[in-house]
Structure 1
């Protein structure tokens, strides 16, 4: 019996059978699941053959991306799985679910990656401001600002560890703190001022944990942390964390190649922060510039770079520990804009400037961005210069526990392999072979 629901979506998408198959395969590949579907498979699905259970999420995501809205199992004519997490959850229950996944290594292995969804529904500021459903209070215990200060201090400490050593070990620490301490605080009695401050601090920690999940390639989980951070920030009326989270979501999207989604998220972050100070304005405009350049919009990208540069000149020195936007960050964004607009040599100069300005504490960023610098030097034909830069990366890499850094080392080995007749390349490759990547 034909799947009329799926046929309707297929007609709306305007795809050929082969185009649909390629879109599903692409969604699977992005999640680390190689698929080999063709036009014949799609024809069978439309005719009523039920796709494998593990493939259905990729079909839904492919249609969601094409139609620019979230497509559910029911809309596609599929049975809803018993463990589907698409249903609304109590915000505290969701926090506990997410945290427990990260606390236990056995669960992290199974739930590690996950599919990034470009059709994820993002709550807007008016939808979440002042609201947070189903957090039950009224327990005998009462908390004050000391407990809130502890959450803030823990978040700052975890952020420092992430910056210096990567998030592979820091994320379970953050998750354990969410589950064992923050959740209990959220259930406790408190004054209105204390509760609002606690919600804001919780939003900060959720954002940071999502950021570390992105670094490990756990993109679906990161999106869940991010959307929950938006809800808590709105409940606290915390514009700063709300906009910072949207900006983080834009960065995640652009790193995965979803430039249109990245632009919309970057613009939403800017629109949701009408009273942003100069450093925050530079932070948001820099991401807008990066997104528009990646999408090929030269005039908008350059306009936002200029706006970011002007705002940075005006910026005050104070900033949140993990929300700070420094001149080195702006130089990185300028490099991405230059590269996106075809100025490869200029992008290299800006990456060098970013490295010169970067504080030595930010070791994970140093590994990632200097590896990117070496890739672009090689792209320009500067083999020995690239090898020298990669040597610097290998000096720091063993001290960093980061999924994104691991990917950069894997890329380096693949890129340098064709040049092994060169002495510098051979020496670098041999050194890289001695580096042990995590299992």
Structure 2
């Protein structure tokens, strides 16, 4: 999907308003026309997917309340279309956002609802997608055994899945391992989490700047947490290579976390150099010093 790819390349704030205008103008006119029931269902299902992507982009742009409005609109469209897959995947995305905002009980409730909505005949790709999120929500509730069981089942189901990766088709390997790493970290399996994030990073394509940057940030934070300053600085350095090309609230939050985490080590030359680069990255674009060797836009 074009807009999902743009968000992964540049961040959710990039092209978000273009998608909103497209939905309000072109798609709105198409939905208002008379059409056979089967065609109307297809149109509503496709529109639900676009609104879902808009919700994800809006959340990444830093507008949590507005993104909730779009998520609920996507649910309504998927319900009208009778599309259980898109409905359940949207519930899953809402669970992801609830966790990021600190609403853990709500996140688990949404993850459970996503599983129930998908029904007993959900295919392996959907199983992997939904179970991985429920695993993370359960881990935050100290349901360690259940979380690990969900994680193992998600990976087994993903191995059985077929089809092209996409937000409504099948988990990419990079996404599967990123989410698994989050769960492993919450379960206290730090070194396993690092290994899973490293696999996720290797699976990223060069144009997946946003997800690559977020993976690097997670790796750096985790390495720093166990005292591996050199490894953390290496990951932060690569993160900072990508950061200037991103329009993402999550990437900005990662940059803030970078500065907070490294301040205790600012007397170390490698940490001091990263902190200086981070300080420059927070300046307005016109005030940033030019650097050689950055990633191509």
Query: What TM-score results when the alignment is normalised by the length of structure 1?
Result: 0.63
Q: Point out where structure 2 has 5 or more consecutive residues left out of the alignment.
A: 286-297
Q: What residue is the counterpart of 1:256 in the other structure?
A: 101
- The residue that corresponds to 1:55 in the other structure is none
Q: Does 1:220 align with 2:65?
A: yes
CA contact (8 A) 1:293 1:336 kept: no
Secondary structure of 2:281's counterpart equals: coil
More helix by share: 2
Please give the residue correspondences for 1:7-406 in structure 2 after superposition, counting only pairs within 5 Å: 156-274=1-119, 275-320=121-166, 323-406=169-252
Alignment equivalent of 1:421, drawn from 264, 267, 275: 267
Q: 1:193/1:221 Cα in 2 relative to 1: closer, same or farther (>3 Å)?
A: same
Q: Distance in 1 between matches of 2:156 and 2:74?
A: 29
CA deviations on 1:103-145 (whole Å, 9 max, x unpaired) are: xxxxxxxxxxxxxxxxxxxxxxxxxxxxxxxxxxxxxxxxxxx
| TM-score, structure 2 normalization | 0.91
**Deviation at residue 345 of structure 1 after TM alignment:** 2.1
Q: Tell me: CA distance 1:211–1:229, structure 2 relative to 1, closer, same or farther (3 Å).
A: same
| Partners of 2:55 and 2:71 within 8 A in 1 | yes
Cα drift, residue 321 of structure 1: 5.3
What's the offset of the Cα at 1:359?
2.5
SS in 2 for 1:350: helix
Three-state SS of the structure 2 residue aligned to 1:288 is: helix
Once the two structures are superposed, what CA deviation does each residue of 1:208-257 show, in whole Å capped at 9, x if it has no partner? 11111111221111111111111100111111110110000000011112
Deviations 1:312-338 (A, max 9, x none): 110103354565312222211221121
Structure 1 residue aligned with 2:258: 412
Q: Distance in 1 between matches of 2:118 and 2:147?
A: 20
1:101 corresponds to which residue?
Answer: none
Residue 319 and residue 357 in structure 1: after superposition, are their counterparts in 2 closer, same or farther (change >3 A)? closer
Q: Does the C-alpha gap of structure 1 residues 204 and 362 become closer, same or farther in structure 2, counting only changes over 3 Å?
A: same
CA RMSD across the alignment: 1.5
- Rate the CA distance shift 1:260–1:406 in 2: closer, same or farther, 3 A: same
Q: Give the total of aligned pairs.
A: 284
SS of aligned partner of 2:118:
coil
Conserved in 2, the CA contact under 8 Å of 1:370 and 1:389?
yes
- 8 Å CA contact 2:11–2:61 kept in 1: the answer is no
CA–CA distance in 1 between the matches of 2:26 and 2:159? 40
Q: Output one character per residue of 1:37-86: Cα deviation in whole Å (capped at 9) or x when no partner.
A: xxxxxxxxxxxxxxxxxxxxxxxxxxxxxxxxxxxxxxxxxxxxxxxxxx
The structure number with the bigger radius of gyration is 1
Gaps of 5+ in 1: 1-155
Asked if the contact 2:61–2:247 (Cα under 8 Å) also holds between the matched residues in 1, the reply is no
- Taking the aligned partners of 1:259 and 1:189, their CA distance within structure 2 comes to 43
Change (3 A) 1:278 1:285: same
User: In 2, Cα distance between the equivalents of 1:396 and 1:273?
Assistant: 37
Note if contact 1:253-1:259 (Cα within 8 Å) is conserved in structure 2. yes
Of residues 379-388 and 328-337 in structure 1, the stretch that sits farther from structure 2 once superposed is: 328-337
> In the TM superposition, what whole-angstrom CA distance separates every residue of 1:262-284 from its partner, at most 9, and x where no partner exists?
11111111111122211111000
